[in-house]
Amino acid sequence: MPTLLGFDYGSHKIGVAVGQTLTHSANPVTTLGNPRGKPDWDRIGGLIGEWQPDALVVGHPFEMTDREASNAEPAKRFARQLAGRYHLPVHMADERLTTREAWMELGPEAQRDPTRVDAYAAKLILETWLRSE
């Protein structure tokens, strides 16, 4: 049963989730810092070592008009960097409205700990990709 790590790439934070293809479900793992667009590669490498994923999924930002969002290029660059560093297949998944859905589903928890939103959005991104495959 293949395992995947999903990423919600943002300019300040990167949410991470883990999922697998048997149930097409995912769970939030953590939120990493991304100061000045510099991912925490040591922690990402640690997560890849811990979970041993068969592939990675990165959220692809789109506007509601189906055009790429202005923050799509940094997310695509991050996906290319993941592929180059870890030699794993990297897939992009539409991340439209995942952060909004994460805020809604987490409710008061999101207010108490906003960093949980990014990891939960990564879960939603990964589940979107899993359902589409």
Burial-class residue 129 by CB neighbours within 10 Å (0-12, 13-18, 19+).
Answer: buried
Question: What pLDDT score does 109 carry?
Answer: 83
pTM metric for this prediction: 0.92
On the question of pLDDT at 1 being above 80, the answer is: no
Please write the tens of the pLDDT for every residue from 81-97: 999 999 999 999 998 88
pLDDT tens, residue by residue, 30-71: 999 999 889 999 999 999 999 999 999 999 999 888 898 888
CB 81 within 8 A of CB 115: no
Q: β-pairing, 13-20 with 3-9?
A: antiparallel
d(CA 127, CA 122): 9
- What is the set of domains in the chain, with CATH numbers? 3-132 (3.30.420.140)
Query: What long-range pairs does 63-72 form, CB within 8 A, spacing at least 24?
Result: 63/96, 64/96, 71/10, 71/11
* 87-110 average pLDDT score: 89
- pLDDT, greater one: 122 or 70: 122
